[in-house]
Amino acid sequence: MSESLQQVLDVSVFWEYRTVLLRGLAVNFYVFACAAALALSLGLGAALLRISRRRLLRWVGTVHVEIFRNAPDYIMVVWVHFVLPLLIGTLLHTRFELNPFVSAIVALGFVYSGYFAETFRAGIEAVPGGQIEAGRSCGMSERLILWRIVLPQVVRRMLPESINQFISLFKATTIVSLIAVPDLMYQVSMIIQQEMRPLPLYTGAAIVYFAVILVASYALRAASERWRNKIFA
């Protein structure tokens, strides 16, 4: 066991490949950023649909949320990457292929839009109705009220919960290694195939993610607390 322990703690292999691994981590961030942007916009759209006055729109929003909130990330990534191109190809009568980056971003973006939709909806419904009436009384249009009064408060109110969801999304980006997107885990598995030394590499990867996420979550929470305290004093 001690020999294995020594192997585990041998960081030299990690250090040797640090550029490649760092580039892999950067890919994680890149996929995260794009998927997050997609998830936020779709999530906001779905939330607005769910509070719409028309029943059909409400239903569409609910279906979207229920499908994607309950779908496992991995199966969605696989489905988007392998099935969707075939479906599109049949539709367009041509051979269609999806870049694995695109599949990853689309799949994760849609799945997490389900979570963000619920977060947005809860936040929107939590804005006191009186403030909306005050806006209407000044002659503000519903759209102006949404963008200037409701959403700014939704963002501030739901920030803590959203941070949790962002962190989940970032953790989920490791899945993309399984469809050959060159993120950190993918690089790790490539190196392991070459160097045949899984112990320090897997352990190192775990520690890297742990460190990144720990630091990020503390920093984000601290920043959000200070920002929120200004108005929710």
Partner 1 sequence: MSEMPTIRVVDVHKRFGALEVLKGVSFDVHRGNVVSMIGASGSGKSTLLRCINHLETPTAGDIFIEGESLCFRGDATGSRKPRPLAEINRMRRDLGTVFQQFNLWPHMTVLGNVIEAPNRVRGLSRKAAAELGAECLARVHLEDKALEYPARLSGGQQQRVAIARALAMQPKVMLFDEPTSSLDPELTDEVLSVMRELAADGTTMIVVTHEMGFAREVSDRVMFLHNGLIEEEGPPEQMFGAPRSERYRQFIAKHLH
Partner 2 sequence: MGNWQRLVWNQRDALFSGLVVTVEICVIAFACAIVGGLLLCLVRMYVRPLRFMAIGLIEFFRATPILVQLLWVNYVWPALFGWPDSFFTAAWMALALQSSGYLAETFRGGIEAIARGQREAAYAVGMPPLLVFRRIVLPQVSLSTAPSLVNQFTVIVKSSTLVSVITVQDLMFQSQKIVNIWYEPIEILTATAVIYIAIVFLVSAAGKGLADRLRRRYGIALA
Q: How far apart are CA 233 and CA 220, in angstroms?
A: 19
Contacts 24+ apart (CB under 8 A), 218-225: 220/163, 220/166, 221/160, 221/163, 224/159, 224/160, 224/163
Work out how close the CB of 167 gets to partner 1 at its nearest, in angstroms, rounded to a whole number: 25
Residue from 40, 42, 76, 108 that binds partner 2 (CB under 8 A)? 76
Pick out residues in 163-222 that bind partner 2 (CB under 8 A).
167, 171-172, 174-175, 177-178, 185, 198-199, 202-203, 205-206, 209-210, 213-214, 217
Whole-number Cα distances in Å, 170 to 58, 130, 160, 183: 29, 37, 16, 12
Residue by residue, what is the 3-state secondary structure of 12-50? HHHHHCHHHHHHHHHHHHHHHHHHHHHHHHHHHHHHHHH
Work out how close the CB of 119 gets to partner 2 at its nearest, in angstroms, rounded to a whole number: 14
3-state secondary structure of 72: coil
Work out how close the CB of 170 gets to partner 2 at its nearest, in angstroms, rounded to a whole number: 8
Work out how close the CB of 157 gets to partner 1 at its nearest, in angstroms, rounded to a whole number: 10
Q: Between residues 18 and 148, which has the closer beta carbon with respect to partner 1?
A: 148
Does position 74 interact with partner 2 (CB under 8 A)? The reply is yes
| Contact residues: partner 2, CB under 8 A | 1, 4-5, 7-8, 66-67, 69-76, 78-79, 82-83, 86-87, 167, 171-172, 174-175, 177-178, 185, 198-199, 202-203, 205-206, 209-210, 213-214, 217
